[in-house]
Amino acid sequence: MAVEWDALADRLGATPFLRPGWIDAWWRAFGTGRLEIITLRRAARLAAVIPLHRRRRRVWSTSNWHSNQFGILAEDEAAAFGLAAALFRDRPVQVSLGFVDTDELAPCRAAAAQVGYRILEWTLERSPYVVVEGTWDDYAQQRLSRNRRRQLRRCRQRLEHKGRLELDIEKDGERMEESVEEFFRVEASGWKGAKGSAILSRPETQSFYREVAKWAAARGWLRIAFLRLDGRPLAAQYLIEEGNVLYMLKGGYNPGFRDFSPGMVLLETLFRHAFSSQIRRLALLGGDEMYKLTFTKTTEDLVRFQAFAPSMSMGYAHWLAFAYGRPVAKRTLALLAHRSENRTSDG
């Protein structure tokens, strides 16, 4: 299945987040319930695929806040609509797909409406990105304020006065595994480690990013970037470079150098690198935090799509929970669960 899936992704130029290696790493770390991979074939060739997990009669996407993107991988619009219809074939109580590009939701909306499901959508993230054109100097002149350019220049100069400042990007070398672990330590050294949101803070996130690193490195996509001062890491980024796109998955900095803004200096250095290379798009990923909006105002919306069964039962109660709040819905769900248990006992 993975071979066919990757071949389809290659034909479509799909992002890493829609490929089987990414989903496999995600499932091993975060998966619950039963994994289901729904496919659509034409003349025995895979034409569309979507990985899901099922808990009771609810269907969920294999995605969370570490996913960056989710959706149907389909070779054309007809295949996407056909696969979306299959999501509702056995009438689940609820279908929930997270981190889907809002522009890619038309097939799911149409399939849900066709069978009378109630639909809710809301934005989870506005993810910043940059189309790389021209030179960095021209881009910075247009996009960065004069004050921001001055601040970045001053931070860089202050660091350069302290020693040798350099960008170190590990690309599939013998030190890659060591570089991944070094990145984890840098990322955990700051506020993320203190608040328990660093990769090393939870075993499942450690598992996920280590598995992704192995998979991406085997394909030649993994990049670990460091801003170093006399060899010492001041800031770091965990990256995937594929198809002339540089995806910025995670970053962190050494809190001992906070006054020098090493994370911002590294980000600017990576922008300079991208504008002088074959990279055509920088995907900053995650939400539209202010430090990212310093470099770009362009974002793409990733949404949560939810469809609820039309029957006056569990589907309606779950729709109430999300549409109007928890208290009424909780009472409705409890009553329905009680009735269900009574029917089971009577049977």
Shared domain for 6 and 112, answered yes or no, is: yes
Q: Which residues contact 296 (CB under 8 A, 6 or more apart)?
A: 128, 129, 130, 143, 282, 284
Select from 246, 279, 312 the last residue of a domain. Answer: 279
Shared domain for 119 and 10, answered yes or no, is: yes
Shared domain for 75 and 189, answered yes or no, is: no
As a whole number of angstroms, the distance between CA 15 and CA 330 comes to 39
| 129 phi/psi in degrees, rounded to 5 | -155, 165
CATH number, domain at 96?
A: 3.40.630.30
User: Is residue 313 situated within a structural domain?
Assistant: yes
In contact, 98 and 63? CB cutoff 8 Å: yes
User: Is residue 76 situated within a structural domain?
Assistant: yes
**pLDDT for res 347:** 37
As a whole number of angstroms, the distance between CA 235 and CA 255 comes to 9
User: Is residue 290 situated within a structural domain?
Assistant: no
Of 291, 342, 325, the C-alpha closest to 148 is 291
User: Is residue 287 situated within a structural domain?
Assistant: no
Shared domain for 119 and 224, answered yes or no, is: no
**pLDDT for res 339:** 46
User: Is residue 295 situated within a structural domain?
Assistant: no
Q: Would you write out the chain's pLDDT as a tens digit for each of its 347 residues?
A: 899 999 999 999 999 999 999 999 999 999 988 999 999 999 999 999 999 999 888 999 999 999 999 999 999 999 999 999 999 999 999 999 999 999 999 999 999 999 999 999 999 999 999 999 999 999 999 999 999 999 999 999 999 999 999 999 998 777 899 999 999 999 999 888 889 999 999 999 999 999 999 999 999 999 999 999 999 999 999 999 999 999 999 999 999 999 999 999 999 999 999 999 999 999 999 999 999 999 999 999 999 999 999 874 554 555 556 555 555 444 444 444 444 444 433 33
* b/e code 307-325 from CB counts within 10 Å (16+ = b): bbbeeeebbbbbbbbbeee
As a whole number of angstroms, the distance between CA 335 and CA 205 comes to 37
User: Is residue 296 situated within a structural domain?
Assistant: no
Q: Which residues contact 250 (CB under 8 A, 6 or more apart)?
A: 183, 187, 199, 209, 237, 238
Of 127, 133, 225, the C-alpha closest to 176 is 225
Please measure the distance between the N-terminal and C-terminal CA atoms of the chain and give it in whole angstroms.
41
**pLDDT for res 328:** 47
As a whole number of angstroms, the distance between CA 273 and CA 58 comes to 45
- Cα–Cα distance list, 271 to 34, 46, 177, 210, 247 (Å): 41, 37, 25, 25, 12
Query: Tokens at residue 105, please?
Result: 């939701």
**pLDDT for res 55:** 85
Give the residue numbers spanning the domain of 84. 2-125+302-346
Q: pLDDT per residue over 186-243, tens digit each?
A: 999 988 888 999 999 999 999 999 999 999 999 999 999 999 999 999 999 999 999 9
- Cα–Cα distance list, 88 to 48, 93, 112, 120, 259 (Å): 16, 9, 7, 16, 54
Total of domains in the chain: 2
Shared domain for 86 and 160, answered yes or no, is: no
Q: Does the pTM exceed 0.85?
A: yes
Of 317, 345, 327, 302, the C-alpha closest to 121 is 302
In contact, 299 and 127? CB cutoff 8 Å: yes
As a whole number of angstroms, the distance between CA 25 and CA 131 comes to 29
Shared domain for 103 and 237, answered yes or no, is: no
**pLDDT for res 324:** 57
As a whole number of angstroms, the distance between CA 158 and CA 154 comes to 6
Shared domain for 169 and 224, answered yes or no, is: yes
Environment class of residue 339 by beta-carbon count within 10 Å: exposed (0-12), middle (13-18) or buried (19+)? exposed
User: Is residue 185 situated within a structural domain?
Assistant: yes
